Amino acid sequence: MPRGTAGGDAHDPSAARSEACAAKAGGSRRVWAAALAIVAGAALVPSGRAQAQALVIVNRIDDLPFGTWSGSGQMQQTMRHCVGSTSLGNRFNVRATGSGSGGAFTVASGANLVAYTVEYRSPTSGAFQPLTPGVPRGGFVGTTTINCSFGLSEPAELRVIFSVADLTAARAGTYSGVLTLTVAPE
């Protein structure tokens, strides 16, 4: 079998761990891990020379309903989700884009806007890291599985924060927005 270069390999340690996890999990879990490893391996086939194409998936995403501001203090919520990556070390970067002008992190109520900030972390990346709209930020580590089903449940965390200043300055209304997360292997 061809050996992959940095960026992903069906035989990289992540795939090996995936299979190991599958063996422990047994049953249908074994099927999941096998599927991930084999599809990643399929990406190696077309090239005469080994060129691994790492694969990623982001899922288990939930909406963030903040409810009604009390009139004091900031508001923040954390959304745990899953990022699976076949890249070396399961590393990935994340790019967040809001639905505001130019991808700004804003929610809207008609013409009125409220800005928010976005932070991101994975267990091994330490503290939450601020994200800039449309700018990938790397250094995060995902799982070897596509649904975080092997004991590493929902390891990635997204945090959205509305500052008290922005909330106070906001006009009354019901605001909504869409936040898009795109992950890519590193």
Partner 1 sequence: MKPILRSARRLFGAALLSVAASGAAYGATQGTLGSTSTGTLDITLTIPNLVQITNINDIALGTWGGGAMSGSDNVCVFSTTRAYRITASGNGTGGAFTLASGANTIPYTVEWDDVSGATTGTLLTSGTALTGQTTSAITTNCGGGTNATVIVRVSSTALSGAPVGAYTGTLTLVVTPE
Say if residues 66 and 163 touch (Cβ distance below 8 Å): no
Per CB under 8 A, 64 contacts partner 1 = yes
Per CB under 8 A, 48 contacts partner 1 = no
- Which of 55, 113, 115, 131 binds partner 1 (CB under 8 A)? It is 55
Per CB under 8 A, 107 contacts partner 1 = yes
Per CB under 8 A, 38 contacts partner 1 = yes
Beta carbons within 10 angstroms of residue 81's beta carbon: 17
SS3 (DSSP) at 59 = strand
Say if residues 90 and 142 touch (Cβ distance below 8 Å): yes
Per CB under 8 A, 52 contacts partner 1 = no
Per CB under 8 A, 152 contacts partner 1 = no
What pairing do the DSSP bridges indicate for beta strands 91-97 and 137-141?
antiparallel
| Amino acid at residue number 144 | T
**Closest distance to partner 1 from the beta carbon of 177 (Å):** 5
Residue 45 tokens read as 């086939």
The site for partner 1 (CB under 8 A) is made up of: 31-32, 34-36, 38-39, 42, 53-69, 71, 75, 79, 81, 83-84, 107, 109, 114, 116, 146-147, 160, 162, 165, 167-185
